[in-house]
Amino acid sequence: MKLGVFDSGLGGILITRAIREHIPDIDILYLGDTLHVPYGNRSEKAIYTYAERCIDYLFKQDCQLIVMACNTASASALRRLQQEYLPRHYPHRRILGVIVPTIEYALERGYTNIGLIGTNYTVRSEVYREELRKINPAIRIHQINTPLLVPLIENNGMKWVEDVLDDYLAPLLTKNIETLILSCTHYVCLKDLIRQRYGLHVIAQDEIIPLKLAEYLERHPEISTVLSRTGQTDFCVTDLTQNYLESASFFYQSPVQLTHANIHAEG
């Protein structure tokens, strides 16, 4: 059986690449819902519907464990999928999100004045603020929704990114933040630019998720032992275009062959 990685678009390929580097032998199936990217401006009902269909597809392709490499879907749909969908359909399989590991990382390092950029839904959900303050009420978190970044990243718009980031980050730079959480897997490809241009410490999920996944597998041998280990990686998307083919290879830093996953009956 395989490890599934699901994202609303192609940003999760950056997480897939990092997992592959950290756990070289594990077999991975990636699914990007490029038909509906970005999720950040969708309703909660729509996000859940899209996420459930994609998760169901991955389980039907023999995935034992799925990493939901999408902050918006993790904020909106993960808990319901874990509490309702899994017990009914796949009680012995698991779905992991990216929000809890990111919060754990920030807390482990003692940050108390944190900046965050994310999609409209992730910021509006307040999930990061609520989870951080449950553990340490003294934490201050300053959040900015950055809806233009995903479309720019997925559509070869990097030449405009610096101007957009300058505008988005200006309010955060006045808050003397200790670190900046990139609460969208797409933003991983901006981490070096942000570090160099603004001198910020950045929490990037490609640097966190593989380590936390490896720890999880060590704690759960009943899952780890059933995962196949031939080092194979397959990629599929719900909408296949030439632009996505080029972007996927750019994100993975190696040629990627995308296949079309016919999941959604309607857009």
Active site residues: 70, 184
Cα-atom radius of gyration of the chain, to the nearest Å? 18
Residues, the chain, total? 267
User: Three-class SS string for the chain?
Assistant: CEEEEEECCCCHHHHHHHHHHHCCCCCEEEEECCCCCCCCCCCHHHHHHHHHHHHHHHHHCCEEEEEECCHHHHHHCHHHHHHHHHHHHCCCCEEECCHHHHHHHHHHCCCCEEEEEECHHHHHHCHHHHHHHHHCCCCEEEEEECCCHHHHHHCCCHHHHHHHHHHHHHHHHCCCCCEEEECCHHHHHHHHHHHHHHCCCEECHHHCHHHHHHHHHHHCHHHHCCCCCCCCEEEEECCCCHHHHHHHHHHHCCCCCEEECCCCCCC
- The residue type found at 237 is V
Q: Half-sphere exposure of residue 136, counting CA atoms within 13 Å on the CB side?
A: 17
